[in-house]
Amino acid sequence: MPFKTNAARRHRIPKQRHRVTNWAEYDAALCQRGSLTVWFTEEAIAAWRAEPRRTRGGQPHYSALAIRTALTLRAVFRLALRQTEGLIGSVLRLLGLDLAVPDHSTLSRRAEALKVPKPCSRSRGPVHLLVDSTGLQLCGPRELLIEKHRTRRRRSWRKLHIGMDAESGQILATKLTTHDVDDGSQVGPLLDEITAPLASLTGDGAYDQAGVYGAIGKRHPNADVIIPPRSTAVPSEMAASTPTQRDRHLQSIAEHGRMGWQKRSGYTRRALVEVSISRFKHVIGTSLRSRTEPRRATETAIAIHVLNRMLDLGRPKSVRIA
């Protein structure tokens, strides 16, 4: 029988039920995400070819806009570079545009140093930032080859750190690191990418570090830090006179319990960032196709740009059913 141990002390939390109030609009937005309707504006056609460079070296044939367009289609439809070249060529022929098609070698080489525009906050006020991380596998031998050759080598992977706006659902900041990098050490770099004022930062217990509180206090002194203290946490020496935010969290947990603290502090909103990570892996995938670190960073930046664009098409508005 599952969960038989300590069954009497487990929480009896009923499963929440929600209803989407704008299902018709959201259903149309989901269909539009897979639409092959592609058009080129006059500005895009004029900016397809790269401007002549005045420095030494070879002249580029394609602008950054052309490379981003091809890599965006690659991320949306999960294509290899050669298939991306074929898709771009077929689209240009169907539209009757006399534009050169970047080949797969050019796409791979230009992705090394491609600049992807940073997302801007669209919240009506200060940002309520939700942070978390997830693992992405790298290209390597498939499970069939591992089973065939009886190898014991573990597949390598990278860790993607994201910062998401709780109100708009947009991913505002990302960092791609190796798997052994601590989550708390990336809070500062994530905050450096956000230009809007910060109202609060919410993360799980992995961010319960003094360095995280210091990084937030240095950049946004008035921001609330909503991080659950560890079970072995103790108040600071100045808790009686000048309690810190962490001390106030410990006091609230002692008075209302952890479940009560989560509701009072707004920690329950952290589930939204987990939904965003699930959306990333369902739409984009669970692995990185690129072979070098700069290209992997470009690949993740393009993927985040794609998810934010899809989110602009429509979001569900759900209400809880009592």
Let me know: does 184 contact 216? Beta carbons within 8 Å.
no
Phi and psi, residue 145, nearest 5°: -70, -35
Q: How confident is the model at residue 44, as a pLDDT?
A: 87
Q: Is beta strand 224-226 parallel, antiparallel or unpaired with respect to 17-20? A: unpaired
Mean pLDDT for the chain overall? 88
Domain with CATH 3.30.420 in the chain: 127-288
pLDDT band at 189 (very low <50, low <70, confident <90, very high): very high
Instruction: Return the closest-CA partner of residue 69 out of 93, 85, 52, 53.
Output: 85
Is the dihedral angle over the CA atoms 182, 188, 189, 191 positive or is it negative? positive
Q: How confident is the model at residue 7, as a pLDDT?
A: 66
For residue 2, pLDDT beyond 70: no
Model pTM?
Answer: 0.86
Query: Looking at per-residue confidence, does 54 or 30 come out higher?
Result: 30
What mean pLDDT comes out for the span 27-39? 84
Q: How confident is the model at residue 33, as a pLDDT?
A: 84
Protein fold of 127-288:
Nucleotidyltransferase; domain 5 (3.30.420)
Rg (CA), the chain: 23
**pLDDT (tens digit per residue) in 129-164:** 999 999 999 875 554 555 555 555 556 889 999 999
Let me know: does 79 contact 91? Beta carbons within 8 Å.
no
